[in-house]
Amino acid sequence: MQSDQTYMARALALAARGCGWASPNPMVGCVIVRHDVILGEGWHERAGGPHAEVNAYRACGEADTSAATVYVTLEPCAHTGRTPPCVDLLLERRPARVVTAMADPNPHVAGGGIERLRAAGIRVDVGILEAEALRLNEVFVKNMRTGLPWVTAKCAMTLDGKIATRSGHSKWITGETARALTHRMRHVHDAILVGSRTVMLDNPSLTTRLPEGNGRHPIRVILDAGDYLTGDRAVFAEDRESPTWVATTEGNAYPFADDTLFLPPGPGGVDMRALLHTLAERGVTSLLIEGGGATLAAAFSAGIVDKACFFCAPKIIGGHEAVTPVEGLGCERMDEAILLQDLRPLTAGEDVLMEAYVRKAAETESER
């Protein structure tokens, strides 16, 4: 007999298929089992589309789902949004048991679905592979608890911590596998942030290119407090595939941008926390910061970074004038260093991706 963990692991794998496409909704997977046989499975494929439970029951066809066990990675919703509550479907189908990995992190609705199911006499077990479910939906969890976007800081550097030579040359530090993973990161984030110096020197398109050819292009946000940008860059091309916004201070004009975000001044040019709140107001749930060094320094200094994803290539550039991934003044003492936790090194071809979470005080709703 298969265990609850086995079926929940399958549900989590299904949920991950909605990565990027489900935003701003959570990724959810569902597996329906009766007598140790999977009758149907599904996941939330796209925001506004059917939820995982609906797709899983549809996949069951004419199979007898009475007395089944429903494994779902997130507490079934009990409120009406763009789709009806999933709890209503479960109450109609009457499974013997519902197993969920985690409760809904939305403080306004958490536990509501579980309570309704239990009140109807359906057994509900919560917490199977909860840590894995929380990690999968870390973006959604932060959105619900703080109202702010999840922030990932990404860079590609050499073994001696350089992102470009002393002349500014940087193509390419990492190999094809690492660069492909970068496009995956763009696909799963709502917006991407770079500084104006990066745009002017490297002229990146900041789009998503996946092998299957259907990646989601993030909103491009360009940080420019010095009126440094010109309209001849790729991010401002007339046939651009996603909007380009410029984050700046009052007094600068960018007629070639899709929108201009006027923000208070701050270290690195603009107030980074104000930028985060402005993006949240515009529906952005996740932000990928790709550099350059001044932009990453401003983000880390402001304490807005949740996760660091640093690619490290087996190369040495050397030189005190070569560009570092995090610029600014830096720390005077080691006890002032930004601390990371849960470090995970992942092989990416010849390179290594180091993922870690920034250790910081928990954000609360009062920070909105």
Peptide bond before residue 24 is cis, with ω within 30 degrees of 0? yes
What is the dihedral sign for C-alpha 265, 271, 274, 279? positive
How many residues are given for the chain?
Answer: 368
Backbone dihedral angles phi then psi of residue 197, each to the nearest 5 degrees: -65, -40
Cβ atoms 118, 92 nearer than 8 A: no
Residue whose C-alpha is closest to residue 153's, from 20, 40, 251, 288 = 288
Place of tokens 């009475």: 66
The DSSP 8-state label assigned to residue 217 in this structure reads P
Q: Return the SS3 of 157.
A: strand
Place of tokens 């005080």: 361
Q: Distances in Å between the alpha carbon of 139 and those of 25, 147, 188, 355, 367?
A: 10, 11, 10, 15, 17
Q: Return the SS3 of 268.
A: coil
The CA distance from 207 to 15, in Å, is 24
Element (H, E) at 132: helix 130-136
Peptide bond before residue 215 is cis, with ω within 30 degrees of 0? no
Per-residue b/e over 216-230, b at no fewer than 16 CB within 10 Å? Answer: bbbbbbbbbbeebbe
The DSSP 8-state label assigned to residue 256 in this structure reads T
The CA distance from 17 to 15, in Å, is 5
HSE-CB at 212 with a 13 A cutoff on CA atoms is 5
Cβ atoms 287, 193 nearer than 8 A: yes
Which sequence positions are flagged as catalytic? 53
